[in-house]
Amino acid sequence: MASPHYLQGVSKALSERVQALPHECNAVNLFAMPSTLDPIARSGQLQLFREYFDVIPRTSKAIAGAAAEGHLHVVQWIYTQLSGDKMKQSAWAVEAFKGAARGGQLAVLEWLKSEFEPSFEDTEDAAVEAATHGQLVVVQWLMEEYDGAGDAGALTAAVMADQRDVEEYLISICDDETCLDALGAALIAKAVENDTDRLEELSERCSELDVQEALEDAIECDAYEVVEVLWRSYHQGGQVDGYAIGLSVLSDALTRTVINDRVDVAAISIEADCMNLSFGVGDALKVAAATNRLDFVRLLLTKCMPHDVGSVLVAAVDHGHCDIVHIVYERCDQYAVGSALEKAASSYRWDIVETLYEGCEEGCRHVRDALEHAVASGELEMAKLLHRKCTQYDIENALYAAMGHNRWCGALTIGRALEKAASQARWELVELMYDNGAGLGGYAVGDVLAEAASIGRWDVVQYLQDKAKGYGVSRALSKAVAGEELSTVELLCVKCNLLDVAVTMDEAAMDSRWCVVQVLAKLYVEKIAATTGKVYLIERVLERAAAEGQLGIVKLLYDKCDDSSCYVGVRATPEVREFLAANCGGLCARESQPVEAPFYVDDLSSYQSKVAFS
């Protein structure tokens, strides 16, 4: 199949062998064919443009390109071809008008003016195009032919493009108000584009409102170079009013300088004293504290309000930035420091707690709450530090609340909290509670004492024995006897009554723990000397001691028994028998009499009936 004439172009350059294949030639021509006629029109090749006009698509850029390059014959032909569609013809004529202005093609402009009447907006756009590209002759023609239409826009465009000759001409023909508006628009446009060229010059020639608007736009666009120039201009001329710019804008700007790491711009803004930046410093400070920006924090602290510092301290604590905490906390009131202290304790940031501790008011609730966190998390050293600034009530409340109790039910709850700490083997906490529990009951301490003794924590037993009372002391004493902890036995016996000592001594004798019996016997002798009562159980201890030859114990106890029931000599060793014969007159006469079973019952309450006191 033969190729259409409009495709027979590029394929002619192919070899004869390839040209013998029509489908290959068609493919090559289709590939090489332009997508639009616009470049052909711009090149001025009218014949080629006419040949492909109905085949290859075209846009308004075709007539605009031809006009910009001064190809009037192409413009005229295209314009004529569109006569059947007046709307399209007019729209394309406008594009040609602006293209001719951009290219400085005065002849094309004059012809187009004879064919259609552009609107004010179209004339203004053409003037802007001409001014931007430095087409002074075209600008002059447009101003004369259309009575200065678009002069302000053209002047702004000339300034933006730094077309000085066009700028000078337009300033010479414009009134002062138009010049001021145009220069202000240029300043604002440069601010948005972060273009610092001629910025200082323009700021001096513009109105105060335009400078303020330019600064505001630059701030919102993060155009930091422009912001810096305009702020410096403000310091020199004192033109810019921060309140007129808008405090919310400045506040956002400060925050963005932190985010974008522009401390230099923030410093310039801070220096603008009349702006009263304290309105927005707080938010910027929080961001700086959260991102650990020490340079910003130091800068912004010089301008912030007192209440902002407290929230910044909390933000620094939240993110664990110790360096910022050190800088900020000394500027905070005691309530803010206390709040931050509690926050740090709840986050287990004990290094920060230690820093803030000195700045806290004595007796404040935040220290108490921090103490509770320290106790609950097992930070006993920190708890010991914090409790120095707490009241007695707060110390107890924190200690017992940390163990899952409330203090409303008094000593009973306190005791249970102590017991719970002991059951969890938290002995350091037990000691802390013991030291600071003014309402702590002796019976609860006694129970904890027994708990500590049951696992061999004799250091804890000795520490707690001072306040211990009740059956727990007896239990602890029994454990100490079983473990032959003589020093502990001696301490605990001081808390026991005569009966408890006798019972414990009897148990030790049954197990032949004579070193313990020796200690208990001495304590028994001391206690019985302070009363007229006797315990009718001691003869069994004496009998066993005599039978096993424990002469020292026999010497301590022999005269503390009731002679009417003393038959200890029956099973005594010779050495003991000799001592008893010399010191116990009626003993030998009763040696052959039957031995009465020694008195012993399990119920301790029954023992009490055997104790006689005057």
**476-515 confidence digits (pLDDT tens):** 666 666 666 666 666 666 666 777 777 777 777 777 777 7
Angle at 206 between CA 203 and CA 212, to 5 degrees: 70
d(CA 30, CA 613): 130
Give Dmax (Cα) for the chain.
163
- Measured in degrees and rounded to the nearest 5, phi and psi for residue 535 equal -115, 120
- Is 50 exceeded by the pLDDT of residue 613? no
d(CA 433, CA 443): 15
- Is 70 exceeded by the pLDDT of residue 257? yes
d(CA 465, CA 600): 28
pLDDT score of 104: 94
List residues bridging with 535 in a β-sheet.
611
d(CA 436, CA 563): 50
The residue with greater pLDDT, 495 or 566, is 495
- Is 70 exceeded by the pLDDT of residue 573? yes
Q: Is 605 among the domain residues?
A: yes
pLDDT score of 593: 42
- Measured in degrees and rounded to the nearest 5, phi and psi for residue 611 equal -100, 120
pLDDT score of 492: 67
Q: What is the mean pLDDT of residues 207-226?
A: 77
Q: Is 584 among the domain residues?
A: yes
d(CA 344, CA 363): 18
Sign of CA dihedral 555, 557, 558, 560: positive
Q: Is 506 among the domain residues?
A: no
pLDDT tens digit sequence for 264-295: 777 766 665 444 545 567 777 788 888 887 87
d(CA 85, CA 78): 12
Angle at 150 between CA 144 and CA 156, to 5 degrees: 120
Q: Is 570 among the domain residues?
A: yes
For residues 332 and 312, is the Cβ–Cβ distance under 8 A?
A: no
User: SS3 of 56, please?
Assistant: coil
Q: Is 538 among the domain residues?
A: yes
Q: Is 58 among the domain residues?
A: no
pLDDT score of 458: 57
DSSP annotation string for 359-396 = TSPTT-HHHHHHHHHHHHTT-HHHHHHHGGGS-HHHHH
pLDDT tens digit sequence for 413-437: 445 555 555 555 555 555 555 555 5
pLDDT score of 319: 76
Enclosing domain of residue 577: 520-614
The residue with greater pLDDT, 319 or 560, is 319
User: SS3 of 611, please?
Assistant: strand
Q: Is 578 among the domain residues?
A: yes
d(CA 547, CA 541): 10
* Encoded amino acid at 7, one letter: L
- The mean predicted confidence, pLDDT, of the chain is 71
Angle at 350 between CA 344 and CA 354, to 5 degrees: 95
Q: Is 594 among the domain residues?
A: yes
How far out from the chain centre does Cα 31 lie?
62
* Encoded amino acid at 207, one letter: S
Highest mean pLDDT among 112-121, 278-287, 545-554, 573-582: 112-121
User: SS3 of 39, please?
Assistant: helix
d(CA 339, CA 335): 6
The domain total for the chain is 1
CA atoms within 13 A on the CB side of 612: 5
pLDDT tens digit sequence for 521-548: 777 776 666 565 555 567 777 777 777 7
Q: How many residues does the chain have?
A: 614
User: SS3 of 436, please?
Assistant: helix
- The pair of structure tokens assigned to 547 is 């039978």
pLDDT tens digit sequence for 337-372: 777 877 777 777 777 777 777 767 666 777 777 777
pTM above 0.85, yes or no: no
pLDDT tens digit sequence for 374-406: 766 666 667 667 666 666 656 656 655 555 544
Sign of CA dihedral 415, 421, 426, 432: negative
